[in-house]
């Protein structure tokens, strides 16, 4: 979002914050004291749309970071569920399937990263020639 002294304006910054926290456009507009049609018109402005998309990206990145922080607990939970004698068989199967699925994806990602690295190194070597 923009700082003071720009054309963007404090009200539009408030609108973006409201759009991120409210259920819909009507509630966001009401929160900041403007008409819903005004907010809908602002959403059509390229500068407002770009700032709103950037704010959503930042909010999403923060959510992903929180998920990453919780991943350690999730990884600890799955094996416990699989070996707990009181866990229903269907839940054990789902936990085991989840572990295998994520392990396979991790291997695929490692393979792709290795291939990309090799391609980058080959491209760099090609540039030097």
Q: Is 45 helix (H, G, I), strand (E, B) or coil?
A: coil
Question: Cα–Cα distance between 71 and 93 in angstroms, integer?
Answer: 20
* Distance from C-alpha of 24 to C-alpha of 42, rounded to nearest angstrom: 15
Has residue 4 got a pLDDT over 80?
A: no
Q: State the residue for tokens 């966001």.
A: 28
CA distance linking residue 102 with residue 77, whole number of Å: 14
- Distance separating alpha carbons of residues 117 and 124, to the nearest angstrom: 11
Query: Could you tell me the end-to-end alpha-carbon distance of the chain, in angstroms, rounded to an integer?
Result: 45
The predicted-structure confidence for 43-78, as pLDDT tens digits, reads as follows 999 999 999 999 999 999 999 999 889 989 988 999
pLDDT of the residue at 129: 86
Residue 34 in tokens: 């403007």
Task: Give the span between the Cα atoms of 102 and 55, in whole angstroms.
Answer: 30
pLDDT tens digits for range 91-104: 999 999 998 998 99
Half-sphere exposure of 129 (CA within 13 A, CB side): 6
Selection from 42, 46, 53 nearest residue 20 by Cα: 53
pTM: 0.58
């Amino acid at each position: 979002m923009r700082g003071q002294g720009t054309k963007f304006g404090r009200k539009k910054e408030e609108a973006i914050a409201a759009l991120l926290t409210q259920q819909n456009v009507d509630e966001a507009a009401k929160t900041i004291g403007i008409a819903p049609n005004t907010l809908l018109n602002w959403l059509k402005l390229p500068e407002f749309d770009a700032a709103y998309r950037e704010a959503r990206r930042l909010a999403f990145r923060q959510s992903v970071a929180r998920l990453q922080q919780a991943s350690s607990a999730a990884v600890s939970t799955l094996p416990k569920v699989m070996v707990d004698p009181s866990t229903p068989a269907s839940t054990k199967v789902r936990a085991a399937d989840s572990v295998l699925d994520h392990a396979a994806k991790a291997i695929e990602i490692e393979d792709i990263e290795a291939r990309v690295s090799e391609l980058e190194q080959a491209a760099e070597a090609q540039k030097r020639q």
